[in-house]
Amino acid sequence: MPPKQRKIAVMGFRAVGKSSLTIQFVEGQFVDSYDPTIENTFSKVFKFSGQDYQLQLVDTAGQDEYSIFPQSYSMNIDGYVLVYSVNNEKSFEVIKVIHEKILDMTGKAQVPLVVVGNKTDLTMERIISPEQGKKLADSWNAAFLEASAKQNRQVSDIFGKIIYEIEKAEGNIKEKGGCSIS
């Protein structure tokens, strides 16, 4: 089977670790220094559920609540990874604004989305609990996970999850059962 091409935008507030997560996934390394991104696109072939995916990952510039949402991020993007940092309240608020803008700009009620709480290694500085992250993701019908780019924890899972969400939106995955118990 030829690889499926999928384009994913990684978005969030400044310095939450968008580049670090992307680089950890693509190149398997973590860089401690901070170099703000304008925009970078990375490419990686990733096998998920027996299928090769040619992923294009758009590592976007940090946004805040006042940023203009670039129109290009509402077109030809198959899925979104929204990153906040578990030690930064503002970054958690900013993904709510970005989510709203994505729906506005795409004109859709729902898009394939993974919410990621990054920097779980900073245990003493944590402000946002996993429950808060999960609750927000659930309210959007999105996937959720926490990660650490620094410790390479749950990093490739982010991209597995977004592929799953994209496949689900395309009708290629049937959800189990008709009701869920939580």
Ligand X SMILES: Nc1nc2c(ncn2[C@@H]2O[C@H](COP(=O)(O)OP(=O)(O)OP(=O)(O)O)[C@@H](O)[C@H]2O)c(=O)[nH]1
Retrieve residue 16's tokens.
């939450």
Least distance (Å) between residue 50 CB and ligand X: 30
Q: Does 66 bind ligand X (CB under 6 A)?
A: no
| Binding flags for ligand X, 133-162, as an x/- string (CB under 6 A) | ---------------xxx------------
Q: Does 36 bind ligand X (CB under 6 A)?
A: yes
Least distance (Å) between residue 13 CB and ligand X: 7
Least distance (Å) between residue 96 CB and ligand X: 17
Q: Does 14 bind ligand X (CB under 6 A)?
A: yes
| Binding flags for ligand X, 86-125, as an x/- string (CB under 6 A) | --------------------------------xx-xx---
Q: Which stretch binds ligand X (CB under 6 A): 8-16, 66-74, 134-142, 172-180?
A: 8-16
